[in-house]
Structures are given as structure tokens and as C-alpha cells.
Structure 1
Amino acid sequence: MPKLQYDYIIIGAGAAGLMLADTMGKDAFFAEKSILLLDKDTKETNDRTWCFWEKGAGLFEDIIYKEWNHIFFAGKGFSKRYAIPPYTYKMVRGIDFYSAYLARIRTYPNITFKNESVTGIDEKQNEVHIHTSAHTYSAKEVLNSVFDYKMAIRQNTYPVLQQHFIGWVVKTKKPVFDASQATYMDFSIAQKGNTRFMYILPYSTDTALIEYTLFSEKLLPKDAYEKAIKDYLHDKLDCSDYEIVEKEQGSIPMTCYDFKEHHTDRIRFIGTAGGWAKPSTGYTFMSTSKKIPQLIAFLKTGKPLKELSFKNRFWFYDLLLLDVLHSDNEKGHLIFQKLFKKRDPQLIFKFLDEDTNIFEDIYYILGCPKIPFTKALIKRLF
């Protein structure tokens, strides 16, 4: 008879679920607590790529697949290569992350990982029942990383955009890429009423991940993304002879909706499902790694899970950007182009990491177009 009762159940073995399970496994506070990690997938495929920037060595050095000390930005009539030290732009492949973290988690005697699909969740007065395709489990507290867009769009207070993309890892017959730099944003492509850019992570001069990315409300037909990648390779990179090695696609919510209506005393949504994706950029990996310690500290207090809040002043800054992009989605390339023209990438990274002081905030904000943000501020205040 399998064990059916646990102290904690973590639903989803993505970035948030695995980081949380690993952190709990290493913490003596949870050594006597039983923890179940559930995911319908075995996590044995390279289904995604995460990128982030940081100073020096960090928590993920053993699984960094590629890193760059330069980034490239291009707009309409403006482009520049930037040296970014002391920051490094780093890439982690999904398969490397899953393999490393699952291997560690399997060494913790109090954590069990099971491949089962969750079919239902029932919260009782003293516990939560998790129904799966095979069993019904119970736990005192549940951390759920399964995201459904309906969670965010059933409200009108906060706009909901999506960072949606399709990416190809291509291998070309001739050297095409500058392997020393990551193309952070290339807005030189047609915007077509949206915020659209190309994002390139070169592994070598003949191999790179190329993503066609949009910040907008609606997804495109699959062939629209793929045609854009083909056109970029042909028109911008003068390359028509290549092999598609891998494909990936995704959609990340960009919203300041904080999901608090979905949290309860015993159920807490985490990761993208908990609003952990940075609203203004969609970057989730490093944001998640910074929120995990705060969640761990809160779990130790024994307080109802719904009482934890991550909201700060950067939440409001993000909200204004999303208001601007929601009202006029094509303004995105103008905002980012002006910002990269007037401010160093180191300040941009520091601001997006929410590490700037108030004076640096003001200096950063003054580098953005003033009229659309002033209108958005007035609308929010009045």
C-alpha cells in the first residue's frame, strides 16, 4: 500500500517545484516532514530554455550550458553591442536542470517524486486532498505550480499580456552567428501593431537558438512564428541553408495580477501560477530562485499560506509599463530603444532585478518615454 498522507505536497516539477523541493530537502527544519512531489511528466526531455543575468558565480554554475559577456540590442535605425560585466548573461537548458535537481531530490529520504496526473484538489478544514490518476493523497499544505491562464484573465483590474514565442535551434552550413554575444532584443523586424523582436542565443558561429517573441494579448498561428524565423535567417543573416535541430515554444503571462484570490490557508500557488514571472519581462527563473527562500521562511512560521505577499514598489513600475503596452502595443520597441540609448545595460539589469535604490529608480524611469508613462500614471491614480 503506497503512502497516502504527507505534510507537504508540491504539484509540478518545473523550475519552481524542483527548486522548492530541493531547498526543503536541504533544510533541517523539514527533515522530519514528509514531502510528495507530483508531475505527470518524467522530465526527461529538453522542453525549454531559461536565461538570466547575474554577477559572478551563482547557484546554477554546474548546469550553465552557455554564457555571454556581451549583448546586442537593435531597434529602428539604432543598434549597439554592449559589454555587460560585472554581469554575465547565462543559459540553462531544461533537461540539464531537471536531471541535476531530480538527482539531488532522490537523495532526500523524506521526499518522494511520483509521475501522476492531478485530476482534482479538495481543501478540507484540516488538510487538502489531492486526487490523481492513480491515488488520492492528503497533505497539511499544498504548493501548486500548475498555471491556467483563466486564473489571470477572469478580472479586469490588471491587463494581461503574454510573452509568446517559438524558437528553433538551427545549425547552419556556414558561420553566421557571433558566438560572443546574445541578441537580447532585435526590433528591426516588422512590428505589425505589436511589440515583436528576435532573440538569439548563439552556441557557436554555426549553431544558435533563435526565438521570434511577442509581448501582446493574442497568440499567432504557428506558421506565422516559423515564417518570421525563416525570413530573419534569410533576410537578416543571409542564411538559407540550415538544419533545425530542436524546437521549443511557450507563453508566459505578463501581468501584475497577484493571484491572491487563488491562495487559501492551505494551498499556495508558486512559480508562474503564483505570479512569480517578472511582469514587465516574463523572466521567471531567477525571480523564482529569489522567492523560494522567502517562501521557505514563511512556511516555518506556520501562518496561513494566503498571508504571504511579494508586492513591492517594482510591482507598480511593472504595472505602468503593462498599462502602456496594453493601450498601444506597438509602443514597445520605442520604449526599449529609448531606454537602451540612454541607459547602460548594467542599470537596466539592476532595475529589472529589483536591486536599485530610489534614486536609481528615478534615473532609470527618466530614460523612458515620458508622455505614455505619465498618462498611464494619471489613469491609475485618478
Structure 2
Amino acid sequence: MTSHSTEFSDAIVVGGGAAGLCLAHRLTETRPNTLTLIEPPDGPLRPAARTWCYWNAGDDGLEEAVSASWSVLRVHGADGRPVIVEPAAFTYRMVRSGDFERLVHDRLTRSDGGRVLRATAESVRSVRGGAEVRCTLPGGWSLTLRARRVFDSRPLPALPPARTRLVQHFRGWFVRTDTGRFDPAIADLMDFRVPQPAHGLAFGYVLPLAPDRALVEYTEFSRNTLTIEEYESALDHYCRDILGLRTFTVERTEQGAIPMTDAHFPRRAGTAVFRIGTAGGATRPATGYTFAAAQRQSRAIAAALRDGRGTVPAPHGRRALAMDAILLRALDSGRIDGPDFFTNLFRRVPAERLLRFLDGGTSLREEWGIGLRTPVRPMLRTAAELPFLPRRSRPVARTGESHR
């Protein structure tokens, strides 16, 4: 038989993934009287260890959790020609989930009223005066937590209606070679020398951690995910035939998939219940990048709570979402060649401006200039047809969490 009790907090964050940890981290800075971070207990609901990567300029408070960084980026075109860029003040950073979790947990335990609760969140709903979360503790005990506001990062059971849906899906190997085969100063963001699928695009991704260690990944933007055997075959081909790694050991693997869609994600699920992370639209539709947007959204939420405002700002601007919708449709319809499109962006647009564009930080004038460096006719044709396309629903395929 289970027992039941009720507890109270000023704010509750549900989920210990990237979005939940980012928000809990920022809320420790504004110091609400009581803050509870609910994470799944050990078991099938608890995510495996993973990495998150993002680019940033300056200090952002995560330095303790950054395990590696790169100031030089490289893209390999399908023709084999590399594009090497040094995006000024930006660095590409890797955060391991365990390191970030320890950082946030430490700040919570050191802050007055902060805590981490290992429990399974069964339901979240608004109630008079705030919201409540019904949980099951590892021993089977039931617990209801009430708060003025609840921020829910759990994945949605189904995606909102959309005109275009692709999936960014990947599998990565942490490899160790018998000799130094990697340049730790250069991160390969996109390597289009891999065989391309009949629909969508594929690329390799290499983050060197030492001359003899790296995260090597195979990624696709397409409508459907692959089997583990298909990912493994693609990775083996990439490592041996393209990177030329004849002898290596796979020490650890990572795998995930996230939606790339022009669906509208409601940021509010009740009067006092707010969605954050991918569930709240933080994933950038055309790139799959989520971690930087989750940080930006978390800073905005923390500022709103500090100032007494009860709103959750949008993680991406309307112009950025409109441009992403066009690009997604153009990719899905085959009107543009994905590898050429992304390679040419890095060849033709200054790196610092391009990274700000991909992060939604460019002006209208800058975006107009970038647009002129893309295939103009296919993009205009796609923009003209989008308003007439119906939005349709489809269940979410949940296979992991983006590391970006």
C-alpha cells in the first residue's frame, strides 16, 4: 500500500535533462524562496549519460561543466573540399551531462530552499493559486507538490500539427586510436563526404578530445530513424573509409533523435504550468540546436520571475521560425541540395555572422544578405506555397535527446 503526502514550493522544475538543468541553474541565481527540481529515479526513465554542445561568446556560468572547447570549425563539402572558419569570439563547447548535473545539484543544495527530488512525475496540472505535480517516489510512496509555478520539460506525447516534419537522428562513438589521428584544435561540424540518403541529408561530425580520442558521429536529417545496425554500419564506414582510422576502440556510444518541424509549440499548459525545452519550442527547427536556446529561455524566465512577470518568453523569434519553415520545406521537397546549401553558407557568409544567424541573433538586414546567398528561386517558390499547405498531426518518435 502506498502513502500520500503534500508539500509546497515556490517553483518546481520537472525533468533533469538539458532544459530542466538550465532553468534550475538560472533560478538558483534569482533565489526563489523554495525551488524543487524533480528528476526521474534510477531506472528506464532516467536518461543515459550524454553530451550537449553549443557555441558561445564570453562567460555564461557553465565554465565548471565545460569539458572541451574549439575555436576553429570545419565543414567538408560533398566534393571533399574543406571550409575552415574561426568565428571571432565564439567557441564551440562541450558539456557532459554528469558534469552539468553535479554543478546544478551543488548550487541547489547550497542555496536556501533548493533541492533535488528523485521521483516519477505522473501528472502536472493547474490548481487554484498555482499548480500541482503528482509524483511517485522510488519506494512507491505518492507525493503531491504544489507551487506558484511549474516548468515542465517532459517530452510531449504527440507533436502539434505541422506542415513539415523531419527528424535529426544520430549515433556517436567515443573512439580511441592507437596513435594520434585527430587535431584537438579543430571541430568538424559537418562532413558531407558520407553517402547521402535518397531523402534528406547526412553528415559526419567529429569532436576531438585529444590526439587519440574523439566523439565521432553519424547524423541524418530525414523522415525516419535508422536501426542500430544501420547506424553502426554508417559509422564504421565513416571512421575507416573517410577518416582513415584503421585501428580504434569504441569506448562509449550515444544516440538520439529530435524533431525538426514547423509546428507551433504552446509555451503554456495551464494558468501556472509552462513548457520548456523541446516541449516548449526551444529546438531550432532547421538545425536541431536546443542547448543554447534552453539557456536563453532560462535566463529570460529567471528575469521574468525576478521582476514579477508571469510569462515565458519565446525561445526563437518569429522571423527565425518563418525562415526555418521555408528551409525545412525546401529540404523535404528536394528543391535544394542539403549538403551544398549548408556548405555554401559557411563558404559565403562570415562565420561570426552565420553563427549568430543560426542562433537567431541577426538583424533583418543581415538576414536579407544571408538569404541572397542561398538558392533564391527554390526558396521563393517554397515560401509562396507554405501558406496553402495543411498542418497535420503525427505521434512523436522518442528515441533520445539532442546533444546540441
What residue number does 1:89 align with?
92
Mapped to 2, the partners of 1:330 and 1:380 lie a distance apart of: 16
Deviation at 1:276, TM superposition (A): 0.6
Secondary structure of the residue aligned to 1:249 is strand
What residue number does 1:372 align with?
378
Aligned residue identity for 2:255: Q
Mark the CA change 1:215 to 1:362 in structure 2 (over 3 Å): closer, same or farther: same
Mapped to 2, the partners of 1:320 and 1:340 lie a distance apart of: 19
Deviation at 1:303, TM superposition (A): 5.8
Q: TM-score, normalised by structure 2?
A: 0.86
Root-mean-square deviation (CA, aligned residues, Å) is 2.4
Unaligned segments of structure 2, at least 5 residues: 138-142, 389-404
What residue number does 1:36 align with?
36
Deviation at 1:367, TM superposition (A): 1.3
Give matches, 1:1-382, under 5 Å.
4-28=7-31, 30=32, 32=33, 34-41=34-41, 47-77=49-79, 78-134=81-137, 135-148=143-156, 150-152=157-159, 154-156=160-162, 158-193=163-198, 194-260=200-266, 263-300=269-306, 305=311, 308-310=313-315, 311-328=317-334, 331-381=337-387
Mapped to 2, the partners of 1:83 and 1:308 lie a distance apart of: 31
Unaligned segments of structure 1, at least 5 residues: none
User: For structure 1, which segment, 309-318 or 191-200, has the greater mean C-alpha deviation from structure 2 after superposition?
Assistant: 309-318
Mapped to 2, the partners of 1:111 and 1:137 lie a distance apart of: 14
Say whether the 8 Å CA contact 1:195–1:329 is kept in structure 2: no
Mapped to 1, the partners of 2:261 and 2:41 lie a distance apart of: 27
Q: Structure with the greater relative contact order (CA < 8 A, sep ≥ 6): 1 or 2? A: 2
Say whether the 8 Å CA contact 2:5–2:144 is kept in structure 1: no
Deviation at 1:2, TM superposition (A): 6.4
Mark the CA change 1:86 to 1:296 in structure 2 (over 3 Å): closer, same or farther: closer
CA-to-partner distance for each residue in 1:158-192, whole Å, 9 max, x for gaps?
Answer: 42222111111000112222222000100111112
Deviation at 1:258, TM superposition (A): 3.0
Mark the CA change 1:57 to 1:294 in structure 2 (over 3 Å): closer, same or farther: closer
Mark the CA change 1:346 to 1:26 in structure 2 (over 3 Å): closer, same or farther: closer
Deviation at 1:236, TM superposition (A): 1.1
Deviation at 1:308, TM superposition (A): 4.5
Deviation at 1:301, TM superposition (A): 6.1
Mapped to 1, the partners of 2:255 and 2:243 lie a distance apart of: 22
Deviation at 1:212, TM superposition (A): 0.5
Q: TM-score, normalised by structure 1?
A: 0.91
CA-to-partner distance for each residue in 1:174-223, whole Å, 9 max, x for gaps?
Answer: 22222220001001111122210001000112110011111122111111
Mapped to 2, the partners of 1:330 and 1:359 lie a distance apart of: 23
Mapped to 2, the partners of 1:166 and 1:249 lie a distance apart of: 4
Secondary structure of the residue aligned to 2:92 is strand
| Structure number having the greater helix percentage | 1
Mapped to 1, the partners of 2:57 and 2:148 lie a distance apart of: 38
Mapped to 2, the partners of 1:323 and 1:362 lie a distance apart of: 19
CA-to-partner distance for each residue in 1:107-158, whole Å, 9 max, x for gaps?
Answer: 112122111011223433434332212322222321000113x432x413x4
Deviation at 1:330, TM superposition (A): 7.5
Say whether the 8 Å CA contact 1:162–1:254 is kept in structure 2: yes
Mapped to 2, the partners of 1:90 and 1:302 lie a distance apart of: 33
Say whether the 8 Å CA contact 1:338–1:369 is kept in structure 2: no
Say whether the 8 Å CA contact 2:277–2:283 is kept in structure 1: yes
Mapped to 1, the partners of 2:321 and 2:281 lie a distance apart of: 11
User: For structure 1, which segment, 83-92 or 219-228, has the greater mean C-alpha deviation from structure 2 after superposition?
Assistant: 83-92
Mark the CA change 1:332 to 1:365 in structure 2 (over 3 Å): closer, same or farther: same
Identity of aligned residues (%): 29
Say whether the 8 Å CA contact 2:262–2:285 is kept in structure 1: yes
Deviation at 1:68, TM superposition (A): 1.3
Deviation at 1:294, TM superposition (A): 1.6
Mapped to 1, the partners of 2:197 and 2:223 lie a distance apart of: 14
Deviation at 1:339, TM superposition (A): 1.5
Aligned residue identity for 2:83: K
CA-to-partner distance for each residue in 1:315-342, whole Å, 9 max, x for gaps?
Answer: 2111111121222287321211221222
Secondary structure of the residue aligned to 2:158 is helix
Aligned residue identity for 1:35: L
Mapped to 1, the partners of 2:60 and 2:314 lie a distance apart of: 25
Say whether the 8 Å CA contact 1:195–1:330 is kept in structure 2: no
